[in-house]
Structure 1
Amino acid sequence: MPLLSKTRFGRTSLLALMCCSINANAHFLELLPSTDIVATPQQAKLQFSMKFTHPMSQGPLMNLVHPTQFAVVGPMGKQDLLSTLQAQQQDKQQYFTADYQIKRPGDYLFYAEPQPYWEPAEGKMIVHYTKVVVDAYGMEDGWDTELGLPTEIVPLTRPFGLWTGNLFQGVVKRNGQPVPFAEVEVEWHNDGSITPPSDPYITQVVHADANGTFSYVMPKSGWWGFAALIEGEQPMKNPDGKLVPVEQGGLIWVNARDMK
């Protein structure tokens, strides 16, 4: 083969590898409130941002259609919040915002179920059941409540009031049962202050133990997403009508603060 052809082949192969590397970045459904701890009336009106993106890479944003569920379980029971979602646009992609008024002390478990997302680069549908816990006025009661989601991370560590460097632990469950050795991807919601030196620093990966329990020490302040990824029990049809595998994710978002 002529040298020029080898060079073209090498460039083509490198480009393919680079594309695979980019596509391999983890998908996360972000569900981020304005605060995880309400201590004053001024903080009681929560603002939420719901985006489907790559948090550590700061994008790209993927189009998010109107979710199947957005709700909260708290002192007043379960409340359906779908009607509070407001569609927004960024880089020609849709995401959502919402407001919620805290009225009573207690722990509020907000969660979302998106419609299945077709990822052609991975040949699978993606459904991420995502939750975040907000504590109001120090009640600290109910933060470990199981919501009964098909895939769910149940926290063993209280998921608020955490310092940078704290150990976060959770149990990965499918249909209420622990998932031994489940894979959990971890990403930090990048505020632009960190440039990962290479791909392995973008998404941290840990495995749960035989009881479905995983642990991770958060090395920086900010929001951390934990995504337990499990293959769905049943395939789904992609937009072309072909049956494909399903990535079923159970996510939880946790905030850490620097000790000052």
Structure 2
Amino acid sequence: MAGFASFTRCAAWLLLGSAPAFAHFQEIIPSADVLPDGGGVTVDMIFTHPFERGPTMEMKRPLRAGVLKDGRKLDLTSSLTQKTVGGATGWTLAHEMGEPGVAIFYVEPEPYFEPAENKQIVHYAKVIVDGFASGEGWDALVGLPVEIRPLTRPTGLWTGNQFSGVVLKDGRPAPFAEIEVEFINDGSVKAPNDAFVTQVLKADANGAFSYTMPRGGWWGFAALIEGDAPGRSPDGREVAVEEGGLIWVKATDMPGAR
């Protein structure tokens, strides 16, 4: 009977259009977070639900993708290559790390309309790759409308390290901003229930937050802020806009640790 009751509740949610929605995350994941000897790096971009391993949403060609290095931005939008992930469109790019220093890859996607939430989603996402393990320049800002400034170096982190950052809106701290956190699940982690899928925390009055990563792998931190201006649904209706500032951080298991 318990199974039938659960089925009935799910059916009711679907009929009422109020089924629980998992968090959307704009992934921008490099082939490595540190290149100790330099060399090439590939960066994959998909729009998905990381912990649940999908579904993957259709991602139009980004409005802008690039890399920030030594204070200079290089536009890489024209070098994006389309790929298919989970039956939907994603994008990838390749870049050569020929000199020591941090490269901050970033993407500004086309707005995505989510019918279940009746809003547009725009997630400005970035990830840091350290060439030759230089350890320098990791807290530089791209200048995205919503952006997380790391207070912890986001490369070379062990599992169990704490990651800290400050949420910025138009370059200024965003007090009490909400941050959603998800792990890119390889299928080996099963959540006890839906409450464990997306971790949620609030920044403090200065826009700062911290989170301890309990498992090795890629973690996404999404600071979510309501947009200043409304967007438009595909049928022309005025809808709210969710602006997200995302940063991706990798934790690595310590060899021999128990």
Instruction: Check whether TM > 0.5.
Output: yes
Aligned to 2:12: 16
Query: Do the aligned partners of 2:10 and 2:19 also contact (CA within 8 Å) in 1?
Result: no
Deviations 1:96-122 (A, max 9, x none): 121111111101010000000000100
Structure 2 Cα separation of the partners of residues 117 and 73 of structure 1: 25
Which amino acid letter does the alignment assign opposite residue 10 of structure 2? L
From 235, 246, 250, give the equivalent of 2:245.
250
Count of residue pairs brought into register by the alignment: 250
Aligned to 1:200: 195
Structure 1 gaps, min length 5: 1-7
Which amino acid letter does the alignment assign opposite residue 84 of structure 1? S
Structure 1 Cα separation of the partners of residues 19 and 153 of structure 2: 34
Q: Percent identity?
A: 50
Query: Do the aligned partners of 1:75 and 1:104 also contact (CA within 8 Å) in 2?
Result: no
Query: Do the aligned partners of 2:46 and 2:85 also contact (CA within 8 Å) in 1?
Result: no
Structure 2 gaps, min length 5: none
Structure 1 Cα separation of the partners of residues 6 and 144 of structure 2: 46
Aligned to 1:222: 217
Q: 1:210 to 1:83 in 2, by over 3 A?
A: same
Q: 1:246 to 1:137 in 2, by over 3 A?
A: same
Which amino acid letter does the alignment assign opposite residue 31 of structure 2? S
Structure 2 Cα separation of the partners of residues 251 and 104 of structure 1: 26
Pairwise CA distance, 1:81: 0.7
- Secondary structure (helix, strand or coil) at the match of 1:245 reads strand
Structure 1 Cα separation of the partners of residues 125 and 203 of structure 2: 18
Which amino acid letter does the alignment assign opposite residue 131 of structure 1? K
Deviations 1:12-40 (A, max 9, x none): 65323367444x20000000000000112
- Secondary structure (helix, strand or coil) at the match of 1:104 reads coil
Structure 2 Cα separation of the partners of residues 233 and 134 of structure 1: 31
Q: Does 1:39 align with 2:31?
A: no
Which amino acid letter does the alignment assign opposite residue 170 of structure 2? N
Pairwise CA distance, 1:192: 1.2
Query: Do the aligned partners of 2:54 and 2:86 also contact (CA within 8 Å) in 1?
Result: no
Deviations 1:33-53 (A, max 9, x none): 000001124xx2111110000
TM value normalised by structure 2: 0.93
Q: 1:39 to 1:241 in 2, by over 3 A?
A: same
Query: Do the aligned partners of 1:37 and 1:161 also contact (CA within 8 Å) in 2?
Result: yes
Aligned to 1:92: 87
Query: Do the aligned partners of 1:232 and 1:246 also contact (CA within 8 Å) in 2?
Result: yes
TM value normalised by structure 1: 0.92
Pairwise CA distance, 1:91: 3.7
Structure 1 Cα separation of the partners of residues 109 and 226 of structure 2: 17
Pairwise CA distance, 1:139: 2.0
Aligned to 1:61: 56
Name whichever of 88-97 and 122-131 sits farther off: 88-97
Q: Does 1:141 align with 2:142?
A: no
Aligned to 1:124: 119
Which amino acid letter does the alignment assign opposite residue 167 of structure 1? Q
Which runs of structure 1 show a deviation greater than 3 angstroms over 4 or more consecutive aligned residues? 8-14, 18-22
Query: Do the aligned partners of 1:159 and 1:254 also contact (CA within 8 Å) in 2?
Result: yes
Aligned to 1:110: 105
